[in-house]
């Protein structure tokens, strides 16, 4: 009998590695590659399965990754896992990939694309030597800038504390990429990694390896804000008292790693010079510039020029854009792409972070007001608006939306947006942390006041909303309080751009644009505020509420990989129906109909004179149907083309303004004209059919037949084991209720429907079917007692009646003395357990009596 994969690994592959000299400290088994992408089923986040490399081989403990190994069962061909091994090696930056069945080994050298078959693994020394071949810095030891022979920093272990998270694969690659640039003698380089991916942690490990090896002796970390400087100081905590902060003109010359903001370094000293000039020019070996895209060369140019002999590492969270070309030209000038243009030495996008499951995914809601197309001043005055023109200024005839609040203050529009945002938060969670980006400090203050007025008293929080627009006085403690995941206030913070960069607030669920954005860099920085996962609050996704069409700036950097569409794009199925006015029920002719699958347009049509439409030639799938008509808000709905109901849709469109919803303040009428949940077509939305397929496979993995499921469900112990197994794969009652639209059945029926196509039976029907059998077997129970137990099942399912705790609530406490009283009446705890076991078993014994 041939060995399974696990047996092959333990009995064959592990001994082969030991024979080749690979000790445990150099082997990482089940290397956590990807955490599993988060996708959304409505508002419910669901993770894809995580990915693990079977083996990772390192040159030194916690040192560089040299190779990946993919193991296959003994019965498989040795090279059967090579494709997977190559995928891991490519992501991890490993030069070698191995696939083995424990008997034979296939090796591929990624640098030369050559393969060979082996009967034994290379030794650590052999693989390490081959890894260094052709490198300018080749050697376990290298010469540092001071002429000293020191250990190669690339081979230094990453910093690690017991229980602390280790470097993720992309962080390891970024660290190694920068160190290689230093070792080959370059002067500067650029890292571009999305917000929330740990740029500061990467910088710390770069500094740690350089100092631990003795290759560099001193480093300077520059930020442009005090909060970012302090965050970095804390992140570098592993260096202990080797850290120092430049403050009040004092430079900590006795420390090895200095932290400063540009303003402190550029400040004048009492003697008339600049603070940075107090350092010798050759004092630092490395200068790290955090969020380097934010500061123009005029701000930090003189400082970097002073330290021109140091290696300059720029870090940014944005890809190359028109508004960051100077950053690229300076920091990336020594790393040119095939097109001759400067590029980062390593790049990891927001979309990649979402793909890998290390960053939160997002939903986008775009909202338009009735004045977003612009305000014509003459028309507004005719309708009774009051226009106040300060002396010395002249009003324009018209104002575009991008001029609102900056040139023309429109408090009515702001209040309308705040009313809408308050309603949105009431729907999705009024206590979910929210950042609102505003145009000016005054605009931020008005939004703060409105949000406090609208939701402060409802939530019972005196500091529900706060404005944070500077780092002076009370702004810093307010920001620190907001950043804490478990803080209860403030909930909503308004700002102009202070929070757009570097602020680590993992629990933020909503990013709100009330400020027009023209800069792609600024846009990416802002949405990055929501991209962090937060285990404390179980945050796995965030929302973008866009009142200014800022989300037009999305590009490939921000979007996760679009999964391939499974199956054909055409077929013989139909989506059809009628479009009517939601109030008058009159048909709407000329409505535009667009049918899309995962963001890809399949077909378009328009409604006829009676509001009717018909779209043919569609595949069997759940499609998105978009309906628009002049004078109405856009409507989006989903239809399963395999369901006969998809040919009988009734689409109701609403006009954008209604008298009871209009807001009139200062004479300007502003209403919400449209609210659309944007489908980005990037696979962030998990289709119900895909989730049900996952659920079916997971249930059948544990219980092959419906009868096995029934037997498992009748016992509390085995039921709990199954529920735990399914929960680990995010197959839960709550999600299944949403997908199947059945909140009236027990979890058993949800699982039976999904896995075995069984007809679901409501909890009420199960209770009714079980009652006569239970009454017959337990005739001595007090009158009404059994009905009360079954009522608990009707309310919330079998787990409600699985333990004696059910007798600790009314009516058992008021009628039968609670848990102790029930035990005495029935004849003791053993009889109570037997009764509950019988009830559970009978509820799911059969559907034949229903």
Q: Give the CATH number for residue 628.
A: 2.60.40.1120
Continuous H helices in 155-284: 169-183, 199-213, 226-235, 262-266
- Whether residue 487 is predicted with pLDDT greater than 60 in this model: the reply is yes
Tens of pLDDT, residues 716-753: 889 989 998 898 888 888 888 878 888 888 999 999 99
Task: Indicate if 752 and 769 belong to the same structural domain.
Answer: no
Q: What is the CA radius of gyration of the chain?
A: 32
Give the model's pLDDT for residue 847.
62
- Whether residues 476 and 625 share a domain: the answer is no
The model's pTM: 0.78
Residues 538 and 637 in one domain: no
DSSP string, 295-308: S-HHHHHHHHHHTT
| Shared domain check, 190 and 213 | yes
19/306 Cα distance (integer angstroms): 54
How far does Cα 71 stand from its chain's mean position?
31
| pLDDT at residue 296 is higher than 60 | no
Residue 665, in any domain of the structure: no
Residues 792 and 731 in one domain: no
Proportion of the chain above pLDDT 70, given as a percent: 92
Domain presence at residue 71? yes
Both structure tokens of 150: 């020191």
pLDDT tens digits, residue range 573-629? 999 999 999 889 999 999 989 888 866 778 889 999 999 999 999 988 888 888 888
What pLDDT is recorded for position 54? 95
Q: Considering the domain boundaries, does residue 276 fall inside one?
A: yes
Mean pLDDT (whole number) for 652-660: 60
Task: Examine the pLDDT at 665 and tell me if it is beyond 50.
Answer: no
The Cα–Cα gap between 813 and 820 comes to 9
CA 846 to chain centre: 43
Helix (H, G, I), strand (E, B) or coil at 610: coil
Q: Are residues 389 and 338 in the same domain?
A: no
Return the structure tokens found at 658. 């209604």
Q: How many domains does the chain have?
A: 6
Give the tens place of pLDDT for each residue, 71-97: 999 999 999 999 999 999 999 999 999
* Strands 27-34 vs 51-58: parallel, antiparallel or unpaired: antiparallel
Given 606, 634, 655, the domain boundary residue is 655
List, for residues 96-154, the tens digit of each pLDDT value: 999 999 999 999 999 889 999 999 999 999 999 898 886 766 778 899 999 999 999 99
End-to-end CA distance of the chain: 48
Q: What is the mean pLDDT of the chain?
A: 87
Here the tokens at position 754 are 């999904």
153 belongs to a structural domain: yes
d(Cα 211, Cα 214) in Å, to the nearest integer?
5
Single residue among 709, 741, 756 that ends a domain in this structure: 756
* Cα 541 to Cα 531: distance, rounded to the nearest angstrom: 7
Asked if 345 and 322 count as a contact pair (C-beta separation under 8 A), the reply is: no
Strand locations in 133-285 (E) = 141-143, 149-151, 188-193, 219-223, 243-245, 257-261
674: in domain: no
Query: Measured between alpha carbons, how far is 367 from 374 in angstroms, rounded to an integer?
Result: 15
pLDDT value, residue 663: 27
* Average pLDDT rounded to a whole number, residues 340-356: 91
Same domain? For 584 and 726 the reply is: no
Q: Which residue has the higher pLDDT, 848 or 770?
A: 770
Is position 290 within any domain? Answer: yes
Q: Using CA atoms, how far apart are residues 20 and 24, in angstroms rounded to an integer?
A: 12
Report the Cα 575 to chain-centroid distance in Å: 33
Please list the alpha-helical segments (H only) found in 673-715. 688-702, 706-714
CATH number (domain holding residue 104): 3.90.1570.30
Q: How far is CA 787 from the centre of its chain?
A: 46
Residue 36 C-beta-side C-alpha neighbours within 13 Å: 13
- Examine the pLDDT at 667 and tell me if it is beyond 60: no
Contact 531, 38 (CB under 8 A): no
Cβ proximity of 527 and 512 under 8 Å? no
Q: How far apart are CA 346 and CA 788, in angstroms?
A: 65
Together in a domain, 642 and 739: no
User: What gap in Å lies between CA 409 and CA 430, rounded to an integer?
Assistant: 27
Average pLDDT value for residue range 250-278: 89
525 and 411 share one domain? yes
Q: How many CB atoms lie within 10 A of CB 15?
A: 11
How far does CA 315 lie from the centroid of its chain?
Answer: 21
* Euclidean distance between CA atoms 673 and 198, whole angstroms: 40
Domain with 532 in it: 381-553
- Domain membership of residue 366 (yes or no) is no
pLDDT grade for 161, boundaries at 50, 70 and 90:
confident
**Do 592 and 718 belong to one domain?**
no
499 and 625 part of one domain: no
Structure tokens at 404: 């609102």
| DSSP secondary structure letter of residue 81 | G
Indicate if 107 and 233 belong to the same structural domain.
no
- Of the pLDDT bands very low, low, confident and very high (cuts 50, 70, 90), residue 232 is very high
Closest by Cα among 171, 170, 152, 259 to 209: 152
Q: Is the pLDDT of residue 778 over 70?
A: yes
Highest mean pLDDT among 156-160, 233-237, 395-399: 233-237
Burial of 291: CB neighbours in 10 Å, binned 0-12, 13-18, 19+: buried
Q: The domain that contains 545 carries what CATH number?
A: 3.40.50.300
Mean pLDDT on 19-43: 91
pLDDT over threshold 60, residue 700: yes
In a domain, 122, yes or no: yes
Of 69, 104, 132, which closes a domain?
132
Residue 664 has pLDDT above 50, yes or no: no
């Amino acid at each position: 009998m041939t060995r399974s994969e696990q047996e092959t690994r333990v009995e064959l592959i592990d001994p082969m590695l030991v024979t080749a000299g690979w000790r445990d400290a150099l082997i990482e088994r089940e290397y956590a590659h990807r955490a599993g992408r988060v996708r959304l089923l409505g508002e419910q986040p669901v993770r894809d399965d995580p990915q693990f490399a079977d083996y990772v081989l390192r040159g030194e403990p916690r040192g560089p990754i040299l190779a990946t190994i993919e193991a296959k069962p003994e019965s498989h061909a040795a090279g059967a896992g090579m494709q997977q091994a190559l995928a891991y090696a490519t992501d991890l930056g490993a030069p070698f990939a191995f696939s083995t069945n424990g008997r034979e080994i296939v090796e591929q050298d990624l640098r030369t694309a050559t393969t060979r078959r082996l009967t034994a693994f290379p030794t650590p020394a052999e693989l390490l030597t081959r890894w260094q071949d052709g490198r300018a810095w080749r050697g376990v030891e290298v010469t540092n800038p001071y002429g000293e022979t020191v250990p190669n920093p690339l081979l230094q272990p990453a910093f690690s504390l017991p229980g602390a998270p280790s470097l993720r694969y992309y962080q390891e690659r970024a660290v190694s990429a920068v160190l290689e640039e230093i070792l080959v003698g370059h002067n500067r380089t650029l890292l571009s990694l999305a917000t929330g991916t740990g740029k500061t942690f990467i910088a710390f490990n770069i500094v740690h390896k350089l100092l631990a090896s003795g290759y560099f002796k001193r480093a300077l970390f520059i930020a442009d804000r005090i909060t970012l400087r302090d965050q970095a100081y804390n992140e570098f905590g592993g260096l202990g008292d080797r850290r120092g902060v430049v403050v009040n003109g004092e430079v900590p010359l006795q420390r090895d790693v200095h932290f400063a903001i540009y303003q402190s370094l550029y400040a004048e000293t009492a003697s008339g010079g600049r603070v940075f000039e107090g350092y010798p020019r050759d004092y630092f070996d490395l200068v790290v510039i955090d969020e380097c895209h934010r500061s123009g060369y005029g701000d930090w140019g003189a400082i970097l020029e002073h330290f021109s002999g140091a290696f300059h590492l720029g870090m940014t969270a944005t890809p190359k854009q028109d508004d960051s070309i100077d950053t690229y030209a300076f920091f990336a000038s020594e790393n040119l792409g095939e097109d001759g243009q400067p590029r980062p030495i390593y790049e990891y996008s927001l979309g990649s972070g979402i793909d890998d499951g290390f960053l939160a995914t997002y939903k986008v809601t775009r909202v338009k007001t009735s004045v977003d197309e612009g305000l014509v001043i003459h028309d507004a005055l005719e309708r009774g608006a009051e226009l106040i023109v300060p002396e010395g200024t002249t009003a324009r005839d018209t104002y575009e939306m991008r001029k609102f609040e900056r040139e023309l203050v429109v408090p009515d529009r702001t209040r309308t947006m705040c009313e809408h945002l308050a309603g949105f938060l009431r729907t999705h969670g009024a206590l979910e942390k929210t950042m609102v980006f505003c145009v000016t400090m005054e605009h931020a203050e008005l939004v703060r006041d409105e949000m406090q007025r609208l939701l402060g008293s409802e939530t019972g929080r005196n500091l529900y909303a706060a404005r944070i627009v500077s780092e002076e006085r009370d702004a810093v403690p307010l920001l620190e309080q907001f950043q804490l995941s478990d803080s209860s206030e403030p909930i909503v913070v308004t700002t102009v751009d202070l929070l757009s960069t570097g602020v680590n607030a993992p629990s933020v669920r909503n990013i709100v644009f009330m400020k027009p954005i023209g800069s792609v860099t600024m846009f990416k920085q802002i949405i990055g505020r929501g991209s962090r996962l937060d285990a404390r609050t179980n945050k796995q996704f965030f929302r973008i509420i866009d009142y200014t069409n800022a989300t037009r700036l999305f590009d490939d950097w921000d979007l996760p990989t679009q999964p391939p569409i499974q199956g054909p794009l055409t077929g013989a199925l139909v989506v059809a129906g009628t479009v009517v006015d939601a109030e008058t029920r009159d048909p709407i002719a000329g409505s535009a109909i667009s049918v899309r699958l995962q963001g890809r347009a399949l077909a378009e049509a328009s409604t006829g004179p009676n509001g009717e439409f018909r779209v043919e030639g569609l595949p069997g799938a759940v499609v998105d149907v978009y309906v628009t008509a002049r004078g109405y808000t856009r409507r989006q709905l989903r239809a399963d083309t395999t369901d006969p109901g998809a040919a009988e849709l009734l689409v109701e469109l609403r006009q954008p303004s209604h008298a009871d919803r209009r807001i009139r303040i200062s004479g300007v009428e502003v209403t919400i004209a449209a609210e659309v949940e944007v489908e980005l077509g990037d696979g962030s939305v998990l289709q119900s059919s895909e989730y049900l397929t996952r659920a079916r496979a997971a249930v059948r993995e544990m219980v092959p037949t419906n009868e096995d499921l029934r037997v498992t469900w009748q016992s509390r112990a085995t039921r709990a084991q199954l529920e735990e197994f399914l929960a680990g794969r995010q197959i839960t009652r709550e999600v299944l209720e949403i997908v199947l639209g059945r909140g009236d059945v027990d979890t058993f029926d949800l699982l039976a429907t999904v896995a075995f196509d069984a007809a679901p039976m409501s909890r009420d029907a199960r209770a009714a079917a079980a009652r006569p059998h239970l009454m017959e077997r337990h005739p001595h129970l007090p009158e009404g007692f059994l009905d009360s137990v079954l009522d608990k099942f009707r309310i919330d399912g079998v787990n409600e009646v699985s333990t004696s705790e059910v007798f600790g609530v009314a009516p058992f406490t008021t009628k039968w003395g609670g848990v102790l009283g029930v035990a005495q009446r029935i004849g003791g705890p053993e009889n109570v357990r037997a009764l509950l076991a019988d009830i559970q078993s009978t509820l799911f014994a059969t559907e034949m009596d229903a």
